[in-house]
């Protein structure tokens, strides 16, 4: 064999993917022992498991997914289905971070399956199920009667929803208590003397729209405050739209002296609209807003905030999906987190 051919063979060997046979050769163990050690099988001694897993990390061993699927029928994939045009980047990055933390020490990998506003939200879910591309699915923007949840339940696909459905069907979910958020925001505003309140809602078709609206309305009745309708705006609208309509509202004779905002991005536009109308935040009007990153006080210290932890949401959703895959009862894989207190940074 000539030198050029030898160099090519050496280069090819250097780029070959490490296999179970590679690990077996390097550790002096059998292929079956190595495979079981990687899976933390209890019949393999702890020292042997540690040695095999250390060598696997050092040589960059990864299970061949095609081979795993042929042997087990599993893909070792969790898919996070996201509307990339509607979700804000902090939500996406924090959810991914939370999911990734949970699956880091498992055989599972995360893939993000995007879709746009022009698509039916069911389409990417159908693709994942019909192609067998994932063992579990996480969806957001959950609706009260969500066809995606029904479709996956009917086909026995493990999944979890960010937000609850209202279909009378049991499935894993994680949610933030938006009823409690809206109610606490109203109570806080009433406690500092605000009596005419406006609500910037989530999108009408999503489950947490109803939770938010009901919490707001019930607390208004409780504290004796009144609502200034702001039905032309939701957090899904553009910053410019929210800003313009807020300015129009604040130029009226009967205007709100308090806002409850369901998202930080919308709050930036609300404040801009207030100031466009010549009014001052903290003097003429107060705003209580949800936020997922502690940034709003850097924009205006007068803003009042309630924190929502999307990393926690990602963590809980991943645990729920893996729990269902592992045989857990779907009804035991549900969580709702209560909001903390309204936080003021202005002293």
Q: Give the distance, in angstroms, between the CA of residue 299 and the centroid of all CA atoms in the same chain.
A: 24
Predicted structure pTM score? 0.80
Residue with tokens 């902090």: 90
Q: State which fold the 178-308 domain adopts.
A: Rossmann fold (3.40.50)
In percent, the amount of the chain with pLDDT more than 90 equals 69
- The two domains 74-176+310-337 and 178-308 share their CATH topology (first three levels equal): yes
CB contact set of 160 (below 8 Å; sequence gap of 6+): 136, 137, 138, 139, 171, 172, 173, 174, 317, 320, 321, 324, 333
Query: Is residue 51 pLDDT above 60, yes or no?
Result: yes
Query: Is residue 34 pLDDT above 90, yes or no?
Result: no
CATH code of the domain made up of 20-63:
1.10.260.40
Q: Give the distance, in angstroms, between the CA of residue 251 and the centroid of all CA atoms in the same chain.
A: 37
Section 176-190 average pLDDT = 98
SS3 assignment, position 336: strand
pLDDT single digits (tens) 56-92: 888 888 776 555 554 555 789 999 999 877 666 678 8
Q: Is 321 in contact with 136 (CB distance < 8 Å)?
A: yes
The architecture of the domain spanning 74-176+310-337 is: 3-Layer(aba) Sandwich (3.40)
Q: Where along the chain do its domains lie?
A: 20-63, 74-176+310-337, 178-308
The CA distance from 69 to 216, in Å, is: 49
Residue with tokens 């609502």: 227
CB contact set of 100 (below 8 Å; sequence gap of 6+): 110, 314
**pLDDT classification of 52: cutoffs 50, 70, 90:** confident
The CA distance from 61 to 44, in Å, is: 19
The CA distance from 213 to 232, in Å, is: 14
Q: Is 316 in contact with 101 (CB distance < 8 Å)?
A: no
* pLDDT at residue number 42: 86
**pLDDT classification of 332: cutoffs 50, 70, 90:** very high
């Amino acid at each position: 064999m000539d030198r050029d051919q030898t160099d090519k063979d050496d280069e090819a060997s250097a780029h070959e993917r490490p296999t179970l046979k590679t690990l077996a050769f390097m550790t002096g163990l059998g292929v079956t022992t190595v495979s079981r050690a990687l899976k933390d099988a209890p019949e393999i001694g702890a020292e042997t498991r540690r040695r095999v897993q250390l060598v696997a990390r050092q040589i960059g061993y990864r299970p061949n997914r095609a081979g795993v699927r042929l042997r087990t029928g599993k893909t070792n994939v969790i898919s996070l289905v996201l509307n990339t045009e509607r979700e804000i980047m902090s939500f996406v990055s924090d959810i991914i971070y939370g999911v990734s933390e949970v699956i880091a020490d498992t055989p599972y990998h995360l893939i993000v399956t995007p879709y746009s506003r022009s698509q039916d939200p069911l389409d990417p879910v159908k693709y994942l199920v019909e192609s067998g591309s994932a063992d579990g699915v996480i969806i957001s923007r959950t609706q009260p009667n969500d066809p995606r949840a029904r479709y996956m339940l009917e086909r026995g696909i493990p999944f979890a929803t960010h937000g609850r459905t209202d279909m009378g069907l049991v499935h894993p979910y994680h949610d933030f208590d938006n009823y409690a958020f809206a109610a606490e925001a109203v109570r806080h505003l009433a406690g500092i003397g605000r009596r005419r309140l406006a609500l910037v809602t989530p999108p009408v078709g999503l489950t947490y729209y109803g939770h938010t609206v009901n919490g707001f309305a019930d607390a208004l009745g409780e504290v004796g405050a009144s609502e200034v309708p702001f039905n032309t705006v939701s957090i899904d609208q553009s910053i410019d739209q929210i800003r313009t309509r807020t300015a129009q509202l604040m130029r009226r004779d009967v205007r709100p002296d308090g806002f409850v905002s369901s998202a930080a991005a919308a709050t930036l536009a609300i404040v801009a609209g207030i100031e466009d109308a010549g009014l001052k935040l903290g003097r003429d009007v107060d705003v209580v807003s949800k936020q997922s990153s502690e940034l709003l006080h850097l924009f205006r210290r007068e803003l009042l905030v309630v924190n929502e932890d999307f990393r926690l949401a990602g963590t809980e959703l991943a645990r729920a999906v893996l729990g269902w895959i592992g045989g857990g009862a779907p009804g035991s894989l549900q969580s709702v987190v209560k909001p903390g207190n309204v936080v003021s940074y202005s002293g």
